[in-house]
Every structure is written in C-alpha cells, then in structure tokens.
Chain A
Amino acid sequence: MSALFRGPDPERGVEPIVPPGREALLTAAVAIGIVLLAIQLWLLTVALDIYLAGARGQLWVLALLSGVVFVGGVVAIRVISRGPRTTGRR
C-alpha cells in the first residue's frame, strides 16, 4: 500500500490523505469558474450586439477570448482530476 493511504476504514474502506490546501483550491476553482462563465456570457452579448450593429471586425477577438476561457477551464478540470477526491462519492 502506498504511503499516501491510511489503513483500512471499517466503514468507508481506504481513505486517501488529502494534501493540505486542496479543498480550498477546489473551492477557489469553482468560484473563479463561475466568474469566468459570467465573463463569457458578457462576451457573447457584446458579440451579438456588434453583429447586429453591422461592425464585424472585432468578433474574432471576442471569440478568441471566449476560447481562451474555455481551454483554461478544460485544463483546470484535467489538473484537478489528477488528485484524490476530498469529499463525496467515489
């Protein structure tokens, strides 16, 4: 058994040791993710407004910014998924 794991728990089985600060990191990721979603929604409304106004030059910049937020979210999910879960279902 790895040194990262405690002995068997009679009720929950093997319990992983959670690295310090991991819970705070996950909560911060959720909070930042919600803020970024709001920014993306705002970018979408700005893009729609520019499209309807007929000035089409800046639309790709807005799409690029939205894409950066999305890719950042995917990377964050992949990084967070590597660590052990701290609470909840297995």
Chain B
Amino acid sequence: MSRQERVDQGSREPLKSRAEYPYHWDADDFVSRRELLRLAVLTSGALFAATVAIAVRGAFGNSSSGSRTLIANASDVPAGSVKYFDYPKKGDQAMLINVPGLGFVAYSQKCTHLSCAVRYERDKDRLYCPCHNGVYSVTTGDPTAGPPQRRLPQILLERDGDRIFARKEQA
C-alpha cells in the first residue's frame, strides 16, 4: 500500500482533500535513474577533485622538513640506548637510537597507523607501538608486524665530532 493510500484511508474526507490538494507524495519521493546518475557523476567529480588535490599537494609540497638542530652528544647515548627529543618542531616527538653494531639512527615517534607514540624495545630489538601492537624494524623503520603499512619517517643525522645534529625529517 502506498503512502498516499494510507493517508486517504485515515482521512475523513479523502476525496475533498485530494481535490483541493492534488499532491502525490509517492511521486515526490521518486528518484529517477537519471537523477541517480547525475548524483553519481557529481560524486565522481568530487572524488576526481580530491585526487587532483592530493596530486598537486604531492607535487608542490615538501616531503622533508626541519632544520639543522643539535639533539645530543654521542657520548650521552651509549650503544643500545635511546634518547627522545622534539623534531622538527616542538611537540613532534622523535627518538635517537644507538643500535649496537649499526650506530645512530633516528625516527619520528609518531606511528604511521594512528599516530600513537612508538618506543624502542632494546631486549626485542624492535620499535613497538603499544596502541595496536605495531612493530617496526630498528634498522630501517619499515613495518614488520601489526596494522602499520608505512615506514616511520626517518630523521637524517649529521655528526660533528661528538655532537649529533638532526638535519631533516624524511617521510
């Protein structure tokens, strides 16, 4: 039974009201296939615009950021230890790790899954995100287990004697 028929049944004077207001709700609710197609094409245009916006941002945006900043003295970070610091801006947490047998590496602490803080676990030789059990390689920053799909942004280092500088962050 259509909505119009239901209204007519419930009304005391259906014929009079229909005569005064010949308004068909069913017809008003009707969405034709052509209208649906137009809506689909509009949505398609919006998706295309969003993809172009990402491409433009990717082409003209800078994939690396940060300036040369002193982050630690090498003697303060013995092999197997980690020093946490802010880079490239204050509040952007990062970590400098002295990996035994490899030397110094630095990564952003922001997990590429949902931005939780990643930490270094020396006994398991891994970078671990406790939020969803994401695991990264200490040597490369690549994800090795859990939900993360992208590697941790690496911070390029420069050593000047005992001093270690962060040069830039690279996605």
Contact = CB atoms under 8 A, between A and B. Distances in A.
Interface of A: 26-27, 29-30, 33-34, 36-37, 40-41, 43-44, 47-54, 56, 59-60, 62-63, 66-67, 69-70, 73-74, 76-77, 80-81, 85, 87-89
Contacts of B98: none
Contact of B47 (A34, A37, A49, A76): A37
Q: Which DSSP category, helix, strand, loop or mixed, fits chain A's interface?
A: helix
B125 to A, nearest CB: 24
Contacts of A50: 58
Interface of B: 27, 30, 32-34, 36-38, 40-41, 43-45, 47-48, 50-52, 54-55, 57-59, 63, 112, 149-151, 153, 170-171
A33 B27 CA distance: 24
B51 A43 contact: yes
Contacts of A81: 34
17 contacts: A47-B51, A47-B54, A47-B55, A51-B54, A51-B57, A52-B150, A52-B171, A54-B170, A59-B54, A63-B51, A63-B52, A66-B52, A69-B48, A73-B37, A73-B41, A77-B37, A80-B34
A40 B47 contact: yes
A44 B55 CA distance: 10
A88 B32 contact: yes
Nearest to A71: B48
B32 A62 contact: no
